A = this chain, B = another copy of it.
């Protein structure tokens, strides 16, 4: 089975990290194909970055039609619905995956994320997906996404502190990491916190494997039907749906 893991930003180092996190949990026989768009933002930290991330995701779904499933490896799940129109197989966003996994392990969970300004993106997803009563809090740490790449930063310590605060304040039983770039901190955090800590990249890969293993594909009835054939204009022309 081939799972195409799409990093919606353009930082190759982050794509590598995401690919490693995905590969680390993939079943034998699962091929992880970690890719990134040819265009867009080097990190996604707001609505505007995300708009271009969504477009980039669509490029990368179209570019890999032979994959059995797709993972969108940015916590805002940019372009999720669009990707489902384009793909035959399942498409999983990492925020979505992490929320689903957390909801199976604890009655309440908290999200610890990067910049506070992105909390509202997680909040909108929580509402759209129906986790309002399960997600007990969303906590920004004001760590920039690319700061997570810097081993000299104190990102781990700050995330740990935010998670400890969240568990007590929110009366939560699990922590969801609110950025694909935190994947490599997951295990150490879990050991320190003593509760499930969920990295969306890993969770999405396993959910994708699960759905493919069940022979299930994205519904093509209704709003996830393939896009209607159209001639797109300008720089979008290469993406015209046939």
User: Which residues of A are at the interface with B, using a C-beta cutoff of 8 A?
Assistant: 10, 25, 27, 37-43, 45-52, 54-58, 79, 81-82, 84-86, 90, 92, 96, 100-101, 103-108, 116-121, 123-124, 127-134, 167, 171-174, 187, 190, 194-196, 198, 202-203, 206-207, 209-211, 213-225, 227-228, 230-237, 239, 241
Contact A130 to B130, CB < 8 A, known contacts A39-B235, A105-B217, A206-B210:
yes
Residues of B within 8 A of A221 (CB): 106, 167, 172-173, 194-195
* B132/A105 in contact, CB under 8 A: no
List 14 A-B pairs, Cβ < 8 Å. Answer: A42-B230, A42-B231, A48-B85, A48-B227, A51-B54, A81-B107, A101-B210, A107-B222, A116-B222, A130-B132, A172-B222, A173-B224, A194-B221, A209-B210
